[in-house]
Amino acid sequence: MAKKAAPDIEQREKLYEGKAKIVFATNRPGYIVQYFKDDATAFNALKRGTIVGKGVVNNQMSAALFTLLGKKGVPTHYVATLSEREMLCRRLDIIKIETIVRNVVAGSLQKRTGLAEGTPVTPPIVELYYKSDPLGDPMINDEHVRMMKLATPAELTWLKRAALKVNSVLVPYMKKRGLLLVDFKLEFGRAGRALYLGDEISPDTCRLWDAATATKLDKDRFRQDLGGVEEAYQEVYRRLVDRAQ
């Protein structure tokens, strides 16, 4: 069960609106409210649409998984749940690196390697991408991170270790609920000198397949016009949120 918010929180001016969320200031310095939208985008926003109920699924799933990860020693920005679509979070200075963990070949990894979709990746690999919509979030390496001063060597080492720790927690957790965690994207940020996991963990940021049938239960259904998008998100919600309560 996600934590409830303190009664003295007041939502204030809008700070930022992205493709999937709106961020608001609060009356408490160092804390923000994330509001999850139903808007859906793909291919760097070249494809746009709406997935009814997506905001509720993504907010509630993120809250449940952030809570789980916090108990396992992964620091996250999640503080409390405000409503079906809103969560209270620590305000982070987001590091402009998207960290992707891959357990199974799919998506761009399949295109870059020619390996068949569904090929296991053992051990899992961590990839880095430069968080830049104008550039299309290009893949980068450690030397690029150093060159662009995106993170210190110590921070980058921490990000990779934290990403693999998240993976080690989520893979068995999801497997018990009949889901195969194919790959997922994480974002991290700074609050003072401390580092935290931020953003969200949802069918928008994870590739999730039914463990028995390999049916896709994530945003690939939207990307690939497979249909049944809302139903897939609700099925993930049922397995990971309803079943956990």
pLDDT single digits (tens) 139-151:
999 999 999 999 9
Q: What is the pLDDT of residues 109-141, one digit of tens each?
A: 999 999 999 999 999 999 999 999 999 999 999
Pair type for strands 93-104 and 120-130: antiparallel
**Angle at Cα 224 formed by Cα 102 and Cα 139, nearest 5°?**
40
Question: What is the structure's pLDDT at 213?
Answer: 97
Residue 99 in contact with residue 186, Cβ under 8 Å?
yes
What is the sign, positive or negative, of the torsion defined by CA atoms of 143, 73, 184, 23? negative
Alpha helices in the chain, H assignment, sequence order: 54-71, 107-113, 142-148, 153-175, 220-223, 229-237
Model confidence band, residue 7 (pLDDT cutoffs 50, 70, 90): low
Listed in order, the ranges of the chain carrying CATH 3.30.470.20 are: 93-227
Give 244's pLDDT tier (boundaries 50, 70, 90). Answer: low
Matching CATH number, 93-227, of 3.30.470.20, 1.10.3470.10, 3.30.450.20, 3.40.50.10710: 3.30.470.20
In the chain, CATH 3.30.200.20 sits at 11-90
Taking only the tens place, the pLDDT of each residue in 46-60 is: 678 888 899 999 999
Q: Please provide the average confidence, as pLDDT, over all residues in the chain.
A: 93
Rounded distance between C-alpha atoms, residue 101 and residue 167, angstroms: 7
Res 48: pLDDT: 81
Please compute Rg for the chain using Cα positions. 17
Alpha-carbon distance of 181 to 95, in angstroms, equals 24
199: Cβ contacts below 8 Å, ≥ 6 apart? 94, 186, 187, 205
**Share above pLDDT 90 across residues of the chain, in percent, rounded to a whole number:** 87
163-207 confidence digits (pLDDT tens): 999 999 999 999 999 999 999 999 999 999 999 999 999 999 999
Fold adopted by 11-90: Phosphorylase Kinase; domain 1 (3.30.200)
- 188: closest CA among 67, 36, 75, 62? 75
